[in-house]
Structure 1
């Protein structure tokens, strides 16, 4: 695979290996958390909320779907019909995007990133990167994902925002130089944490969430996470406020 050549310097602040975190995308949120990093849906918080978190030294990550369009998105009408693909099987209110259409999607995503920055977020969680692994309705390849995400990283960094890789362990070698951290779902349960540990070796944190709707020995998972320097939490699938953290 050919690495895309679009790169910009990371923002002045940095996430660090060993940072603790929580992840909340469903209301009501609970912002009273003793963590270094909070990953939040921008619709669930206010600029005042984010300013208060920043005052406490908490850095915040803004959820943005870059690979699907939710039918409740305020910018829904900005997406022409020809970039909308099949419905996402697991999330019936979302449709896949033709991420090859950089001419259409990059300006829209830049506006979304700007909204996150203006609200007070420090970084972007670019969700649904794995379009190449889904039945999207488009012949999208891994190279298409790398080209798109690398351009998004350049945009985020130009806005002084961090940006992370979301899952896609198969693309780690191609994305790690563009990304500032990695967000993983069930890398312990699905046995692919080792596939992304290059992030830790590069001094970039891995934030992992394991899920309560699947069998897990969380003590064993936490022992593994400690050995691998992964920030691991246990959450419900809807990413509501309850969280179990490693000791």
Structure 2
């Protein structure tokens, strides 16, 4: 199952410095003016389950589940219980276990990313990747999901096998956000903390892993200030070490096990 690979912080910070003065379209011209999709607000409790088909027994208003492994009936069942449902989709790496794996030409496949069966994508090749991601987001829409969680949107800070830059990542992430919005889906920014100032207007919420462990949670405050939810998890840190701070910051926080099964310990 796919979770994010943390970007190398030093590289990311340098990349942010290199793109902080772009101005014009790079500073939010892609932002939706009249959003017709779900707008999750700060403080919503959530469940994140990517390990197998969803277990609907957790009583929270938001579920984040795998788009391929769950059916339209699974989404409809959650909706009947009054829940919003987020579609997890990997947009930054190829996975050899997905049904559309043969749609990716070898030219876009880079280094292994540390998770079995996965390789980084050359996100500069938008003409190749966009149609594939459009079909994936069509799947999310057609199954009735309310939003998308696109994973691995910070390849520029990792050893991908391609000379990716912060500007490449900004362009690709905005394309991903546009694809979601064109289908009436909300879209979350997964990690990629250094580019929050540039991408805040393009994304409707944030999903973060381990900001407390790395003392980075305050970097997510722009989402909260904009009235946008931050769905946050810690793996190694106990709730006693981070809940007081994340409550103050108004993050939707919980502790999860790395495999992202049903178990959760919320703040």
Q: Could you say which TM-score interval applies, normalised by the shorter chain? A: over 0.9
| Pair 1:109-2:133 in alignment | yes
| Pair 1:223-2:244 in alignment | yes
| Pair 1:232-2:249 in alignment | no
Preserved CA contact (<8 Å) 1:28 1:240: no
3-state SS of paired residue (1:48): helix
Match of 1:156 in 2: 180
**d(CA) in 1 for partners of 2:81 and 2:257?**
26
| Pair 1:143-2:167 in alignment | yes
TM-superposed CA distance for 1:26, in Å, is 0.6
CA RMSD of aligned residues (A): 1.3
**d(CA) in 1 for partners of 2:101 and 2:133?**
12
Match of 1:121 in 2: 145
**Could you give the per-residue CA deviations for residues 185-243 of structure 1, whole angstroms, max 9, x where no partner exists?**
011111111112100000001000100xx2x2412311111101000011011101111
Which aligned pairs between 1:54-203 and structure 2 lie closer than 5 A?
Answer: 54-88=79-113, 90-203=114-227
**d(CA) in 2 for partners of 1:141 and 1:41?**
28
Please, what TM-score do these two structures have when normalized by structure 1? 0.94
3-state SS of paired residue (2:117): strand
**d(CA) in 2 for partners of 1:26 and 1:110?**
24
Note closer, same or farther for the CA distance 1:151–1:82 as it changes in structure 2 (3 Å cut): same
**d(CA) in 1 for partners of 2:53 and 2:257?**
14
Note closer, same or farther for the CA distance 1:11–1:190 as it changes in structure 2 (3 Å cut): farther
**d(CA) in 1 for partners of 2:222 and 2:230?**
10
Match of 2:10 in 1: none
**d(CA) in 2 for partners of 1:220 and 1:209?**
13
Preserved CA contact (<8 Å) 2:37 2:186: no
Structure 1, unpaired ranges of 5+? none
**Could you give the per-residue CA deviations for residues 131-185 of structure 1, whole angstroms, max 9, x where no partner exists?**
0111000000111111011111111111000001000100100111000000000
TM-superposed CA distance for 1:12, in Å, is 3.1
Please, what TM-score do these two structures have when normalized by structure 2? 0.87
**d(CA) in 1 for partners of 2:216 and 2:137?**
29
3-state SS of paired residue (1:197): helix
Note closer, same or farther for the CA distance 1:175–1:102 as it changes in structure 2 (3 Å cut): same
Preserved CA contact (<8 Å) 2:48 2:64: yes
TM-superposed CA distance for 1:75, in Å, is 0.9
Match of 1:43 among 68, 71, 80: 68
| Pair 1:29-2:54 in alignment | yes
3-state SS of paired residue (1:100): coil
TM-superposed CA distance for 1:48, in Å, is 1.4
